[in-house]
Amino acid sequence: MAMLMMKRKHLFADYGSSVFYDEMFDQHGKVRPPYGTMMKVLTRMGIDELVTRNAVMESEMITQGITFTLYSETPEESSLERTIPFDMIPRIITGEEWQLLERGLKQRVQALNHFIYDIYHDQNMIKDGLVPRGLVIDNPYYLPAMIGLKVPNDTYIPLSGIDIIRGDNGEYYVLEDNLRTPSGLSYVYQNRALMTNLFPELFFEHRVRSISRGLNAMLRSLRGLAPGNNPDPLVVLLTPGIHNSAYYDHTFLAQEMGIELVEGRDLTVIDKKVYMNSMQVLRQVDVIYRRIDDEYLDPKAFRSDSVLGVPGLMEAYCAGNVALANAPGTGIADDKAIYAYVPDMIRYYLREEPILNNVPTYILDRPHEREYVLSRLSEMVVKERCLSGGYGMLIGPSATEEELEAFADNINRYPERYIAQPTMKLSCSPSLNKMEVAPRHIDLRAFVFMGEETHVVAGGLTRVALKEGSLVVNSSQGGGTKDTWVLQ
């Protein structure tokens, strides 16, 4: 018993208390009940064994090629392909908490889909004065080619990635909606495989809800989009290619779903139909799961210099001969300014109160909101509306005077480009950092698939800000991931 206590003290001796909500420990430093078994197993193993296991997991990730590309900031620098750091101490969500999250996610995605349909058809929410017309019509993600177009099953966003945080009050909030080409699902499955294979004594001590149905649900959502209700549609995943930062994600998903992985050069359009050249034989494509942004999809319809897309693809799409997932023009609904109106969308389209709250958001082309934010800029998080992945962002509390001045100048010059939010105190979770366990901030990307039924993958991808004190969890900014366990 004395030996056990010595190991426990060594493992968490320097963990320390925090002003942030901690997923494992309550405000008095006591282990929360869902983490009781985990605490016993980790303490029994001790730091040396955890570090050894972690090294094995890192080696396994390298062997399997589980990578992410970090793009250079200047043309002179080369991009870096690296493994995404994996934190082997999992994050636990209780069954009761997950039930709330699942209901809230389904509600939110349903409302967002209604909104996209509305703005490309009757525009009732605009006419009723609930969202500014200019915010939609002048939005860079608004696609006039989609006006009045019928999409399969009226489903614009069969695949969604919704980012969720837990605040210092213990409540969950939606931080962002990712509706164009949400990434990261492959890491959910690889994290689970690593834990079950290399840390079985911890995993099998818990009744963890399975994630096995997720990929089947995703494939059903894609197949359900096929024109003419084809019972055996040809589904392909369209990738920009091997140099894309999320290429591993593309290859994993295509392989696991049993669909073809293609580049633009593998497809051709003949008589408004899309064909794949397979072994010198042309096969008609029914559904394209595209991981290419709108502007690169078709050089005839959008950017003429695109070599990633398929000439004539939009013509085939508008003719109803091929389905695209997600539909072009869906980026309008994951714009960071449109985000502020999602609670109103839920009330307007569903006649329900939001189950999951937004983070309070300030639209900076409103003079009174801009003035308020500028007076408290050091307390705010400022985001450029059209950027993602942690780019174009200011975190006021950790910013230098020079950074604050530069952002204030940009906000005054281009207020329509930015939104601001109070700095949320993201919850912390124990993380293995070198030779110690320490608290690190986390969020959760949940994956939602719309089809005949709406399915939420049990758990999703917990992302970790590995740098002490950092609130930026994005893998493009050096963040890592955890396995996420939803308890039965």
Q: What is the pLDDT of residues 187-223, one digit of tens each?
A: 999 999 999 999 999 999 999 999 999 999 999 999 9
State how far the Cα of 354 lies from the Cα of 345, in Å rounded to an integer.
9
Q: Is the pLDDT of residue 375 over 50?
A: yes
Sequence-separated (6 or more) residues with CB below 8 Å from residue 186: 66, 248, 249, 252, 253, 256
The label of the residue with tokens 């963990």 reads: 15
Q: DSSP of 192-204, one letter per residue?
A: HHHHHHH-HHHHT
| 70 Cβ contact list (under 8 Å, min separation 6) | 79, 80, 81, 82, 245, 476
What confidence score (pLDDT) does residue 392 get? 80
pLDDT category of residue 371 using cuts at 50, 70 and 90: very high
Whether 11 shows a pLDDT value over 50: the answer reads yes
pLDDT above 80 for 5: no
Confidence check: pLDDT of 313 > 50: yes
State the pLDDT at residue 63: 85
Residue 230 pLDDT > 90: no
pLDDT for position 412 = 96
For residue 467, the tally of other CB atoms under 10 A from its CB is 14
Fold that domain 360-422 belongs to in CATH: Dna Ligase; domain 1 (3.30.1490)
CATH 3.40.50.11290 fits 212-325, yes or no: yes
Question: What confidence score (pLDDT) does residue 69 get?
Answer: 62
Distances (CA, A) of 460 to 233, 243, 313, 365, 476: 28, 25, 32, 34, 18
Can you give the pTM of this predicted structure?
0.93
Domain parsing of the chain, residue ranges:
212-325, 360-422
Under DSSP, the state recorded for 487 is B
Residue 231 CA neighbour count, 13 Å, CB half: 0
Q: What pLDDT is recorded for position 386?
A: 80
pLDDT value at 337 more than 50 = yes
Structure confidence by residue, pLDDT tens digits, 92-130: 999 999 999 999 999 999 999 999 999 999 999 999 999
Closest by Cα among 126, 195, 23, 488 to 341: 126
Is residue 79 within 8 A of residue 50, CB to CB? The reply is: no
Q: How far apart are CA 78 and CA 69, in angstroms?
A: 11
Residue 370: partners with Cβ closer than 8 Å, 6 or more residues away: 362, 364, 411, 412, 415
CB contact at 8 A, 461 and 194 = no
Residue 229 has pLDDT above 50, yes or no: yes
